[in-house]
Structure 1
Amino acid sequence: MRAIFASLFTRLTGETGKALIRTFFAKAISAFGALALVVIVGRLYGPEGVGVFALAQSILLGAGILARRGMDNALMRFVGRESDSPRVRSYLYWAAWRSLWVSLPLTLMLIFLREPVAHYFAMPGLAEVLLGVGLAVPFYSWAFLLTGFFKGIRKPATGAFLENGSISLVTGALLLVVGYVLPEHGAKLAFLGWAYAVGAFFVALQGGAQAALWLRRHRMVTGVKSINAAEKTAFRGVSRSFFVMGLAGFMQTALSVMIAGKFLGSEQLGLFKSAQQIAISVGFVLMVINAIFPPRFAALYHQGEMDRLGGLARNGALLGIVLAAPFLLVCLLFPEWVLSLVGEGFEPAAPLLQIIALAQLVNVATGSVGFLLNMTGHERYMRNIALLCSSAGLVGFLVLTPWFGAFGAALALAFVLVAQNLLAMFFVWIKLGIWTLPGPNILKLLGVRPRV
């Protein structure tokens, strides 16, 4: 254990450590923005408003996943392997056009079908929020593509600023400003959707400007105008695997809310969403690690340095546990107090917060197992794990939510998080011979040998 901490300290004082610290603060701002928006919506509109917002945001998340189709993570992998290659610009532009051709029809669908969608969920106010949220889809998708690009060129902190939390931060600021200056407009739920569209636009615009400046400064990436057919085929194949993996994340963060929204009222849905969003703070550290390490995983595996790859993965998991522990303890010991920060009427979500926070601890403790598989050519195993766990989780939501309400939804979400990460950890050991969980290798003690 002393050797692990010594190795961890060495990395924290090196180039990786500096990137980790920068990304930690960037991710902290992003995570704060996502949580702050829930708090602002809760204080302005109450649990019912949080429920409507949660459902609208979940629909946006689903549209974004369909528009990107895994290309954000594929960019991180392909650009990360050779960030000084002339292909960098071509990969980014090609992914952007492929995303645009899907995001525009999705925008029109959300705008013209918003009334039937609101009727299906029987949730007043959803249609007016979806109008603005639908317009946010192209900008939202572009921002996430840029996130993968910046992670690939070793600028994870810049990429972290472009994710959902930054859009939420801008949205929350707009809600506060308009609510103060024009209270009659800020009090309307429809303004929430318009504020989100404006936030997505400005974050995407800022990210695009930064990417353009980087490409202009790095002349060596301007030499190739297009990528060949074989490279496009490989990129599409990796994107599909990441897309399936993204469906698991979609199920955990978006589809779960949609199913809960169908069986629960807006108030109960607001309680579930608030617990889910706060519990993400436990897994926030893993988001930081996943913003930095995956391109390094790809490079180390490509170079055949398996010992360094295993050490990096274990150090990341250990760091995640150490940094996540304070968030976990607060959520477990003082859940009512934490939920009271969102606003009045959220305290009944305390047991939901405790359940999801424990599941997030497993997520952090196992480390970046999903990215280890995806960045080392074993993406089909992660794809199958994601499909299996997502299907089982979907059944869990459909069965447990009608019976146990928001508590059942929390149980189903926790199951997906725990099962997916434990299975991925098992296959990382079997296929790579890497044990990510700090402490004794339980699988090795049980006689399970890697098949490297």
Structure 2
Amino acid sequence: MVNVVSKIKNKINSDIHLKELLKGSSIAFVLRILGIIAGYIFTLLVTRGYGAEAMGIFALSFTLLQISSVIGRLGMDTALLRFVAEYSSQGKWVVVKDIYEKAIKLVLPFSIIISILIFFLSGYIAEFVFKKPHLEPYFKIASIGIVPFVLLFIHTESLRGLKKIKEYMFLQQTGIFILASIILGVLTFSIFPINSNINLNKLPVSVYIFSVFIFSIIAYFMWKKYLKEGYSQAGKEISTSNSLPYPYILSVSLPMLFSSSLALIMGWTDTIMLGIFRTEEEVGIYNVALRVSMITSLSLMAINTIAAPKFAEFWGRKDLEGLAKVAQQSTKLIFWISFPILLLFLIFPEQILGIFGEEFKTGAVALMILTVGQFVNAAAGSVGYILQMTGHQKFHQNVILIGTIINVILNYVLIPNYGIVGAAVASMVSVMFWNAVFSIKVKNILGKWIFLWS
């Protein structure tokens, strides 16, 4: 046993990239776990304090916020992840600074326009899209959070490009729900018993938006600190030859915007269509089942946090062999962490959902189906990021487009008759489709499969 442990340690220490992958993904995993716990505490506060209907209202408002902010980011968050990782690793901080400034000049006015439009169109969206006019005030609250949500992702993805994994994970994945849970808990237990006649369903959305504001400000100052440190090392003013033109930056970011928008729409099409065809209670139950199922691909999220900037590094150095090796190592880690979670959720779905309340046990079948889809997503490895970090963002975009069309059609056909089970099936089939196509493309790029059994 001692010899085995010693061999493992020697292997890790002798491989700098594996060591960095394990260290970064371990930090991301721990912080992601904390974020999930905080998220489930927040969900429990909403479901236990206000019921499934309030959870459904929050889910629909959160969906609107996410979709709007993805459009507002113009794909610059993922583009900055790639560019910052690629150029900072080469010491080209003047290029990093220039790209960041151009990204802000494009994103900030655009996201402000979207925020204003959503605010004034909230009534139309609530009435004509969801046929639920009472959702208008909740959508207006969500619209106020679009600009800070956009800037939060711009700055945290830039930090991720610098491999500042602790900062990235805490600011984007963990801190918001911790702060929101604390505030919502205090307000729920202090206000609810006294003011039972006021509409407290606005509290979850308002508290979340406030938390986004706070962490967006923190992320900005943290990024400026690291950018200043790196730029001061460059020791010279930016020259025209070092500058990337706007058309080139947009040629990278816009396909990423399209992919992100489609992936998000596909991820939330089930929630939106459930909101159109079914009740808020069903939306709330499904949303909880979806959140729980995503634990299966938790290892994928954690490892992608550090793997994505490393893929960009290897691609910038034209080191396909190194890229393939890191991809295979990350896939093995993801598979063996995800497999036990898959078994747990398939064996005890009702008991797990029962934690959130008796009414949520009806989502057991949906949880099992969603879990299978998430496991396939995890077992395929970091194929999506490999494509985006290696200049194949347009192929990625086209596959996501086809997957979105499949998802929308299946949701439209299945949800009216099968409810949350139909939504889960649509989600699982779409995820399996795009991961299969991505895997084949990555094999063609790297010259080898990155599956566990390869």
Q: Same fold (TM over 0.5)?
A: yes
Alignment partner, residue 22 of structure 1 = 27
Aligned pairs (5 A) from 1:328-347: 328-347=342-361
Contact 2:73 2:150 in 1 (8 A): yes
Counterpart secondary structure, 2:296: coil
Alignment partner, residue 74 of structure 2 = 69
Contact 2:68 2:114 in 1 (8 A): yes
Alignment partner, residue 189 of structure 2 = 180
Separation (CA, whole Å) in 2 of partners of 1:282 and 1:175: 27
1:56 CA drift (Å): 0.7
Alignment partner, residue 172 of structure 2 = 163
1:305 CA drift (Å): 2.1
Aligned pairs (5 A) from 1:356-367: 356-367=370-381
Q: Deviations over 1:386-420 (max 9, x none)?
A: 11111111111111111211111111111111111
Contact 1:89 1:222 in 2 (8 A): no
1:294 CA drift (Å): 1.3
Separation (CA, whole Å) in 1 of partners of 2:164 and 2:308: 12
Gaps of 5+ in 2: none
Alignment partner, residue 448 of structure 1 = none
Aligned pairs (5 A) from 1:265-284: 265-284=279-298
Which deviates more, 74-83 or 211-220?
A: 211-220
Q: 2:150 aligns with which of 135, 138, 141?
A: 141
The residue identity in structure 1 corresponding to 2:79 is A
Alignment partner, residue 238 of structure 1 = 252
Residues 164 and 24 of structure 1, relative CA distance in 2, 3 Å threshold: closer
Q: 1:372 aligns with which of 369, 386, 395?
A: 386
Q: Deviations over 1:42-79 (max 9, x none)?
A: 11221111111111111111101100121111001111
Contact 1:88 1:221 in 2 (8 A): no
Alignment partner, residue 217 of structure 1 = 229
Separation (CA, whole Å) in 2 of partners of 1:62 and 1:168: 19
Separation (CA, whole Å) in 1 of partners of 2:132 and 2:367: 24
Sequence identity of aligned pairs in percent? 25
Which deviates more, 388-397 or 103-112?
A: 103-112
1:118 aligns with 2:118: no
The residue identity in structure 2 corresponding to 1:348 is T
TM-score when normalising by structure 1: 0.91
Q: Which runs of 4+ in 1 moved over 4 A?
A: 2-13, 221-230
1:11 CA drift (Å): 6.1
Residues 222 and 365 of structure 1, relative CA distance in 2, 3 Å threshold: farther
Separation (CA, whole Å) in 2 of partners of 1:189 and 1:217: 44
Separation (CA, whole Å) in 2 of partners of 1:55 and 1:215: 36
Alignment partner, residue 406 of structure 1 = 420
Contact 1:251 1:390 in 2 (8 A): yes
Contact 2:269 2:411 in 1 (8 A): no
Separation (CA, whole Å) in 2 of partners of 1:390 and 1:13: 34
Contact 2:123 2:133 in 1 (8 A): no
Separation (CA, whole Å) in 1 of partners of 2:125 and 2:410: 23
Q: 2:364 aligns with which of 339, 345, 350?
A: 350
Aligned residues: 439
Alignment partner, residue 31 of structure 1 = 36
Which deviates more, 42-51 or 210-219?
A: 210-219
The residue identity in structure 1 corresponding to 2:190 is V
Alignment partner, residue 81 of structure 1 = 86
1:223 CA drift (Å): 4.5
Contact 2:42 2:181 in 1 (8 A): yes
Separation (CA, whole Å) in 2 of partners of 1:370 and 1:318: 16
Alignment partner, residue 445 of structure 1 = none
Alignment partner, residue 136 of structure 2 = 127
Separation (CA, whole Å) in 1 of partners of 2:147 and 2:173: 13
Alignment partner, residue 98 of structure 2 = 90
Residues 338 and 135 of structure 1, relative CA distance in 2, 3 Å threshold: same
1:331 CA drift (Å): 1.4
Contact 1:107 1:135 in 2 (8 A): yes
1:322 CA drift (Å): 1.5
Which deviates more, 58-67 or 16-25?
A: 16-25
The residue identity in structure 2 corresponding to 1:47 is A
Counterpart secondary structure, 1:283: helix
Alignment partner, residue 197 of structure 1 = 209
Contact 2:415 2:422 in 1 (8 A): yes
Contact 2:95 2:243 in 1 (8 A): no
Residues 238 and 59 of structure 1, relative CA distance in 2, 3 Å threshold: same
The residue identity in structure 1 corresponding to 2:208 is Y
Separation (CA, whole Å) in 1 of partners of 2:386 and 2:144: 35
Q: Deviations over 1:138-183 (max 9, x none)?
A: 1111111112101111112311223255323322221111112222
Residues 132 and 164 of structure 1, relative CA distance in 2, 3 Å threshold: farther
Q: Deviations over 1:294-329 (max 9, x none)?
A: 111121122232222111001111111112223222
1:422 CA drift (Å): 1.0
